[in-house]
Amino acid sequence: MKRIGVLCSGGDAPGMNPNVRAVVRAGIEAGLEVWGIERGYSGLIKGALAPLGSHDVSGLINRGGTILRTARCAEFMHAEGRAQAAATLRARGIDGLVVCGGDGSFTGAQLIYREHGIPIAGTPGTIDDDLCGTDHTIGFHTAVTTAVEACDKIRDTADDHDRIFVVEVMGRRCGAIALETALAAGAEVVLLPERPGLGPRECAQRLRHAREQGKTSMLVIVAEGAGKGEAVTKVIADALPDAEVRCSVLGYMLRGGVPTVNDRILATVTGVDAVHALLERGAGCCHHIGVIANRVVRTPLSEVVGRPKIIEADLVALVDVTAGLRPWQSG
Amino acid sequence: MKRIGVLCSGGDAPGMNPNVRAVVRAGIEAGLEVWGIERGYSGLIKGALAPLGSHDVSGLINRGGTILRTARCAEFMHAEGRAQAAATLRARGIDGLVVCGGDGSFTGAQLIYREHGIPIAGTPGTIDDDLCGTDHTIGFHTAVTTAVEACDKIRDTADDHDRIFVVEVMGRRCGAIALETALAAGAEVVLLPERPGLGPRECAQRLRHAREQGKTSMLVIVAEGAGKGEAVTKVIADALPDAEVRCSVLGYMLRGGVPTVNDRILATVTGVDAVHALLERGAGCCHHIGVIANRVVRTPLSEVVGRPKIIEADLVALVDVTAGLRPWQSG
Amino acid sequence: MKRIGVLCSGGDAPGMNPNVRAVVRAGIEAGLEVWGIERGYSGLIKGALAPLGSHDVSGLINRGGTILRTARCAEFMHAEGRAQAAATLRARGIDGLVVCGGDGSFTGAQLIYREHGIPIAGTPGTIDDDLCGTDHTIGFHTAVTTAVEACDKIRDTADDHDRIFVVEVMGRRCGAIALETALAAGAEVVLLPERPGLGPRECAQRLRHAREQGKTSMLVIVAEGAGKGEAVTKVIADALPDAEVRCSVLGYMLRGGVPTVNDRILATVTGVDAVHALLERGAGCCHHIGVIANRVVRTPLSEVVGRPKIIEADLVALVDVTAGLRPWQSG
Amino acid sequence: MKRIGVLCSGGDAPGMNPNVRAVVRAGIEAGLEVWGIERGYSGLIKGALAPLGSHDVSGLINRGGTILRTARCAEFMHAEGRAQAAATLRARGIDGLVVCGGDGSFTGAQLIYREHGIPIAGTPGTIDDDLCGTDHTIGFHTAVTTAVEACDKIRDTADDHDRIFVVEVMGRRCGAIALETALAAGAEVVLLPERPGLGPRECAQRLRHAREQGKTSMLVIVAEGAGKGEAVTKVIADALPDAEVRCSVLGYMLRGGVPTVNDRILATVTGVDAVHALLERGAGCCHHIGVIANRVVRTPLSEVVGRPKIIEADLVALVDVTAGLRPWQSG
């Protein structure tokens, strides 16, 4: 292997830039040439790619976003698009590909591996934290940190005005962002797609009890997959007519910003190992590079794709314990 | 004057806590007793107030929100409520009142002064920056800083995906937050209530020109008084069918958070002078304490109430110049 | 067990407050009374302690420092002092103790357990990350985040002026803070107490090679246990007479600040389990509560005390790979 | 005027990048070509300069440092060096120069104007806030914000351990950074070069009184021009032998980091007006562009150079009032 490519694909995530930096630096260290491909798979199809030197990635360790840009690419879902992409790689003499993305991107990566024999190393670049091959994904920690900082501010105004606030965060099928946000923001209730038994109605009941016991301001975190913030707010406001209930939707700001320490290190560790995996496994490499229990773990992509991670029931219970609502109920 | 009271009223703002701290510390320094009144005028009506010592306000310089809480008080809009409030003050021997709030709160303060002779010093506690007696209000700078930090993050994801983002910020009758946010975030367009000629349609036209000249990602800031973010987004998306347009609403998070350097200093300067104004003007004190051109300025409340500030046309022009859109148009 | 105590001991760490909150909330949830002890073991000796309710710990999830204060207590190192502390606990009917601290504090905890049969649950409250019973300690992540934010700023001025910067961080016997800071800040070299082969002289040599290959600004992170920043700076400046070399010492600021998401969650998880461990193990509880590979782990204090953690050789190697120095050396 | 140059000179400051952006965008808007000159005056002497397009400065609004780099240039202090610089400008057809820097840089700018007739517009790029032609300089606000954030953290650990902390900040002849930091951090005492009557001994006396009245933790801010932090710490520790006194030096980190809202706006306003001043005044332009009382003010460089700003006595008094020390003294 003499030349490898690196691309970002799917929804963006803070930490993609340090991931690209790590791939380039580790590649050069290993004697490889590293090419950067623009806007995900569409850059392969359109031939938008160029070699990257060590200096080109200097200063990326603390930059949000990705200098390569990212995209969802409809053409790549068709065999024809993938054939064109493979042709580009062959034409440029690129022998292996690092794909930084999520479940959808890895589905495509698997196909180009199977159909055209392009060795693949996938790094977990998504804020959703929904990949089973790694404890956390690149971008997740920054997203949670941003959400918690917003909740800290919202808590101030909730306290000042004795209000209940419903805060909606990203997470369609996976409540990981909502759960860690709730725990770290000290929220009173969290609604998760994985916990259908606790919906807006049950939430309203908990809040009513807490108010009866004297709690005046409260925070509810809602993963978008568990209900839209506005809808949850309405249910609560209807159930507690004398409470002031407000809603805040933390949208796209969770996808940007300077990556946190965790995301920089995770991006660096997985980026470096992605290069090593390609070198060591060669033609047999179609693996996901994650970090599980502080160790780098290479998992066949086939065992990662389509198998979403399960969130920790223990952490869910902790929100309930530390919210301090239960003793009041029993009061 | 031997005993004064301090309260926060209306919508909350970061910097109210340092303001309370400054009033208490300056009061004690001047030999006064200072009482803290809870939840705005309603604390006066309900008799929820207590003396504050120097130590009680220790640690408030960098705390968001207000330990006194704040509220909008319907009873105080009636003569009866104000009579009850005045009775509370007399019963406790409180000779003067510092009111940290905005236009609505000062309207009430003027009335209790006129009807019951309670000396008033008003400090500009509102994020809206819409008071003519001061260059800026307490909380405004923190709100803009929060908005700009969010825009920096949103800019990352706009760049990554070549998107147009519409960001709605608070500001119903006053576009100050939107304007400074746009300038400091490097936004391409800003929609202000004070600038009705530039609406969603004109904005969409500017964006189309910019895209034709090669600009791929852009930020539009909208003051809520100039249109709801979602509505503006729809107009732009309809006008630019091949662009990805997204909306983000920065709501209540602008009202909380650790106060910035500016808000801490403004809160301190006005809080200290509020005490001095009460002492020096005594029964004749019904003034607003602001900072204009770096000087503390005391203005009769009658000249402040109901006279919203005009935003600077110069700053509006700067957004257009530095966005870098115009040369492309002429291209 | 009906009543437990909680104290913070030794050097302070961000996250002690959420830890206290978790202990109090989990204790009350379990039907216990929880007493807060002031200023570590000296509060036990002097009898400075009081019961804490759910509301007393409200708002602590995002507060730096510890409302209980902390101290190093010389008297507790003597049997007499410990006897007095045990007497206080018995007099108040306190049946178990949660100690948030580091290695030194746990040494004392072990002794009061052995000598007086006080059940102990220790939570890892120290920024040093040097305890073998947990992947990370409470406060470590906030300290690294603060150090990395400082390095990001220093990198700006290093770049502007083509300078080499030596940044000293805390860590006498353990280089963990220095290592993660170096990795996440993208530093060119890191000097660690655990890596004596790479000292100031070898560092200067690496920097000279890098400069010969065209690198103009560089960052060196030094754990205080590997040399004082000023001394390292002098060695480098002497070896590279035409380079501008500057030093920055990040001291006590690493010990304060709003705890990060990681430290809030780690403090919450270990605080809750400390209560459960006391309840479940009763008189036999003399354990450290840590998190290893995402699982709560209870380890006998005897296996934790005096056995410092070993830092990861893999991470050390990553700094070298991603600094981008080596290919230039071979150039 | 058809072509202008822009350079950064002297010590770096956060906000130089948005200043360069504003100059380039305003220049292009006005129909000019704008060239960027590397590393201050030395770039002129060595001929290191190149044209900048609108896109080259995209993304600079929130970037610390300066893409042009900056330097102190010994050759430019000699007539020969300036002649060479002027020759470069003439050779490239550059008719005017924007210089972002401080007092020293403007001294040189004045000379090249007088000796070679190069029109000059100076923007106040220095963290020191010591220029009389503007209320504040570009970078000052970011430096103060960084210092205050560090003090907030240090206050946590001071409180936890009942300690006195001495914090040294930059500022040799001017105490502006120290003063605003002290005010916004709620420090108990500030030592300023402009206030020689309050030195380490008087400071120690104040602290002793405060401790006698029960204050346990305190913060002292020292401008480096008023004494080195370590020396001040020693004086205090000797005078208060039973207090724990610690020192923290906030060095170069004050010079970097993402510019704050104030610095972005100040950099934008002055950068745009620098271009307009060159166009409007042409050959007669040798002016400093500042903002005084919210208005852009052009002052002849001759009236700015060598005339340091005086800090506000009022603000100094405020530190004493709000520290809450005096009432205790009278106790």
Per CB-CB distance under 8 Å, the chain B contacts of D29 are: 321, 324, 326-327
- Assess if residue B323 is contained within a domain: no
Q: Do A153 and B64 touch (CB under 8 A)?
A: yes
B214 shares a domain with B121: no
**Catalytic annotation, pick one of B12, B95, B103, B128:** B128
| B157-178 residues labelled b (16+ CB within 10 A) or e (exposed) | bbbbbbbbbbbbbbbeebbbbb
Minimum CA–CA partner of C217 in chain D: D69
Partner residue opposite C252 with nearest CB, options D248, D254, D256: D248
D269 shares a domain with D199: no
B38 shares a domain with B182: no
Partner residue opposite B321 with nearest CB, options D25, D293, D318: D25
B263 shares a domain with B134: yes
pLDDT, average across residues B203-210: 95
If one counts every other C-beta atom within 10 angstroms of the C-beta of residue C91, the result is 9
Give the CATH number of the domain where residue B41 resides: 3.40.50.450
Q: Are D122 and D110 in contact (CB under 8 A)?
A: no
pTM above 0.80, yes or no: yes
B94 shares a domain with B36: yes
pLDDT band at D326 (very low <50, low <70, confident <90, very high): low
Question: Tens of pLDDT along C1-30?
Answer: 999 999 999 999 999 999 999 999 999 999
If one counts every other C-beta atom within 10 angstroms of the C-beta of residue D209, the result is 16
Q: Do D14 and C156 touch (CB under 8 A)?
A: yes
- Assess if residue C320 is contained within a domain: no
A154 shares a domain with A127: no
Tell me how far apart the alpha carbons of residues A151 and A145 are, in angstroms, rounded to a whole number: 10
Minimum CA–CA partner of C244 in chain D: D71
Interface-testing mutation among B28, B34, B60, B61, with chain D (most D C-beta atoms within 10 A): B61
pLDDT at B77 over 60: yes
Partner residue opposite C248 with nearest CB, options D146, D247, D253: D253
**DSSP H or E run through A302:** helix A301-304
Mean confidence (pLDDT) of chain B: 95
Minimum CA–CA partner of C20 in chain A: A322
- Assess if residue C322 is contained within a domain: no
Query: Percent of chain A at pLDDT above 70?
Result: 98
Predicted pLDDT at C64? 97
Q: Do A294 and C272 touch (CB under 8 A)?
A: no
A–B interface: beta-carbon pairs under 8 A: 111
pLDDT, average across residues B258-269: 98
Partner residue opposite A327 with nearest CB, options C28, C58, C265: C28
B201 shares a domain with B91: no
- Assess if residue C315 is contained within a domain: no
Minimum CA–CA partner of B68 in chain A: A160
Question: Tens of pLDDT along A218-263?
Answer: 999 999 999 999 999 999 999 999 999 999 999 999 999 999 999 9
pLDDT at B19 over 60: yes
Tell me how far apart the alpha carbons of residues A30 and D200 are, in angstroms, rounded to a whole number: 57
B77-to-A161, B82, B85, B130 alpha-carbon distances in Å: 19, 7, 11, 21
Give me the sign of the Cα torsion angle C129, C130, C131, C134: positive
Residue D293 burial class via C-beta count within 10 angstroms: exposed 0-12, middle 13-18, buried 19 and up: exposed
Question: Tens of pLDDT along C79-111?
Answer: 999 999 999 999 999 999 999 999 999 999 999
Between residues D310 and B125, the one the model is more confident about: B125
Partner residue opposite D65 with nearest CB, options C12, C16, C160: C160
A19 shares a domain with A108: yes
- Assess if residue C248 is contained within a domain: yes
Interface-testing mutation among C16, C17, C253, with chain D (most D C-beta atoms within 10 A): C253
pLDDT, average across residues C33-58: 97
State the number of CA atoms in the 13 A half-sphere of D21 facing the CB: 32
Give the CATH number of the domain where residue B197 resides: 3.40.50.460
Per CB-CB distance under 8 Å, the chain D contacts of B260 are: 145, 260
pLDDT at A328 over 70: no
Q: Do C183 and A152 touch (CB under 8 A)?
A: no
Per CB-CB distance under 8 Å, the chain C contacts of D162 are: 39, 69, 71
pLDDT at C324 over 80: no
Find the farthest-apart pair of alpha carbons in chain B and give their distance in angstroms, rounded: 73
Partner residue opposite B252 with nearest CB, options A39, A146, A157: A157
- Assess if residue C63 is contained within a domain: yes
Question: Tens of pLDDT along C155-210?
Answer: 999 999 999 999 999 999 899 999 999 999 999 999 999 999 999 999 999 999 99
CA–CA min distance D184, chain B (Å): 6
A185 shares a domain with A270: no
Predicted pLDDT at A331? 30
**Phi/psi class of residue D85: alpha, beta or left (left: φ > 0; alpha: ψ in -120 to 50)?**
alpha
Tell me how far apart the alpha carbons of residues B25 and B28 are, in angstroms, rounded to a whole number: 5
Per CB-CB distance under 8 Å, the chain C contacts of D146 are: 153
For chain A, how many structural domains are there in total? 2
* Domain encompassing residue B240: 141-255
Q: Are C265 and A316 in contact (CB under 8 A)?
A: no
**DSSP H or E run through A97:** strand A96-101
Helix axes A200-212, A229-239, angle to 10 degrees: 50
pLDDT band at A329 (very low <50, low <70, confident <90, very high): very low
pLDDT band at D328 (very low <50, low <70, confident <90, very high): very low
The ipTM (two decimal places) reads: 0.96
CA–CA min distance D280, chain C (Å): 31
Predicted pLDDT at C326? 62
CA–CA min distance A57, chain C (Å): 10
Q: Do A257 and B146 touch (CB under 8 A)?
A: no
Q: Do B248 and A252 touch (CB under 8 A)?
A: yes
Per CB-CB distance under 8 Å, the chain D contacts of C70 are: 160-161
For C24, list phi and psi in degrees, rounded to 5.
-65, -50
Predicted pLDDT at A326? 62
B56 is annotated as an active-site residue: no
Q: Are A142 and A259 in contact (CB under 8 A)?
A: yes
- Catalytic residue list of A: 128
- Assess if residue B331 is contained within a domain: no
Per CB-CB distance under 8 Å, the chain D contacts of C157 are: 12, 65, 252, 255-256
B214 shares a domain with B149: yes
Find the DSSP H helices in chain C.
16-29, 41-46, 79-92, 103-116, 140-161, 176-185, 200-212, 229-239, 261-281, 301-304, 313-322, 326-330
Q: End of a domain among B217, B240, B255? A: B255
Partner residue opposite A180 with nearest CB, options C152, C261, C326: C261
- A-side interface with B, Cβ within 8 Å? 8, 12, 14, 16, 39, 64-66, 69-71, 146, 150, 152-157, 159-162, 165, 246-257
pLDDT at D291 over 50: yes
Q: End of a domain among B222, B255, B288? A: B255
Interface-testing mutation among D153, D228, D248, with chain C (most C C-beta atoms within 10 A): D153
Q: Do A265 and C26 touch (CB under 8 A)?
A: no
Query: Percent of chain B at pLDDT above 70?
Result: 98
D233-to-A220, B311, D204, D229 alpha-carbon distances in Å: 47, 47, 9, 6
CA–CA min distance C81, chain A (Å): 34
Per the DSSP assignment, residues forming a β-bridge with A8 are: A100
Instruction: Give the pair of three-digit tokens for residue B65.
Output: 């929100």
pLDDT at A94 over 90: yes
Per CB-CB distance under 8 Å, the chain A contacts of C324 are: 25, 28-29, 54-55, 57-58
C160 shares a domain with C43: no
Per CB-CB distance under 8 Å, the chain B contacts of D313 are: none
**Phi/psi class of residue D18: alpha, beta or left (left: φ > 0; alpha: ψ in -120 to 50)?**
alpha
Tell me how far apart the alpha carbons of residues A124 and D62 are, in angstroms, rounded to a whole number: 28
Per the DSSP assignment, residues forming a β-bridge with A221 are: A167, A190
- Assess if residue B294 is contained within a domain: yes
Q: Are C195 and C175 in contact (CB under 8 A)?
A: yes
Per the DSSP assignment, residues forming a β-bridge with D126 are: D139
B72 shares a domain with B29: yes
pLDDT, average across residues D5-18: 98
Question: Tens of pLDDT along D120-155?
Answer: 999 999 999 999 999 999 999 999 999 999 999 999
pLDDT at C330 over 70: no
Q: Do B69 and A159 touch (CB under 8 A)?
A: yes
